[in-house]
Structure 1
Amino acid sequence: MTKSKDQRRENISVATEIDRLEERKTHCRDNLERAEFRSRKVKLSDKERQELEDEMAIMTERVHKLDKELQALRGENRKNMLLSVALLLLSVLFYYIFLHSDDDSTLLD
């Protein structure tokens, strides 16, 4: 199962994965806010309150994990962007070296 999940993620762009994780994080935060509101406004038994606090702890942990994943993906996205810019600059450099030098040699003839 993990292998196929990793293979699927390889086919998804980093930006798409960031968007997907942002949506999951927003969903978890919304659920956490609803649980916090419920804990303040609704009278709960001790057992219900403990279950709600456990659920809130799980959601908080999920949000922290998603934050870490997002941070790693954003770092990867930055690397990809820098690599793209470097390749673009290299292409421009080769263009000017080879094509511009050909133009200069034809002018000298």
Structure 2
Amino acid sequence: MTKPKEKKEKISVATEIDRIEERRSLCQRNLERAEYRHRREELSEQDRQTLEDEMTITKERIQKYDRELEVLRWENRRNMLLAVSLMAIIALCYYAFIA
């Protein structure tokens, strides 16, 4: 038997950028809260270690989101450049042959 193919949802690059920025900002807020708690509260050694581990994981997620955003923004710029180039070619053809 073959497995049914999963349908990939078609999402625009701009929508994906917005989603990742939301996730990144949520992680950033969580990190800020954890850092505040780490500085202000007196925690047991185990709680402090757990909080530091959580902060490390959150920082890694933020870095991952930053890399994804960099790739998506580059793709978005490339798509924009392609669209502008096509519009310029169409305008050139229009003025060369029609006008």
Q: Which residue of 2 aligns with 1:46?
A: 45
Query: 2:32, 2:79 → 1: CA distance?
Result: 35
Q: Which residue of 2 aligns with 1:77?
A: 76
Query: 2:80, 2:56 → 1: CA distance?
Result: 36
- Is there any run of 5+ residues in structure 1 with no aligned partner, and where? 101-109
Q: Which structure 2 residues correspond to residues 1-109 of structure 1 after superposition, within 5 A? A: 4=6, 7-8=8-9, 11-100=10-99
Q: Provide runs of 4+ in structure 1 moved above 6 Å.
A: none
What one-letter code is carried by the residue in structure 2 that aligns with 1:53? Answer: E
Q: Which residue of 2 aligns with 1:107?
A: none
Assess, with a 3 A threshold, how the Cα gap between structure 1 residues 98 and 18 changes in structure 2: closer, same or farther.
Answer: same
Aligned length: 95
Q: Deviation at 1:65? A: 0.1
Query: 1:17, 1:4 → 2: CA distance?
Result: 19
* Bigger RCO (CA 8 Å, 6+ sep): 2
- TM-score, with normalisation over the residues of structure 2? 0.92
Query: 2:6, 2:72 → 1: CA distance?
Result: 19
What one-letter code is carried by the residue in structure 2 that aligns with 1:17? Answer: E
Q: What RMSD, in angstroms, separates the aligned Cα atoms of the two structures? A: 1.3
Identical counterparts, % of pairs: 57
- Is there any run of 5+ residues in structure 2 with no aligned partner, and where? none
- TM-score, with normalisation over the residues of structure 1? 0.84
- When Rg is computed on C-alpha atoms for both structures, the one with the higher figure is 1
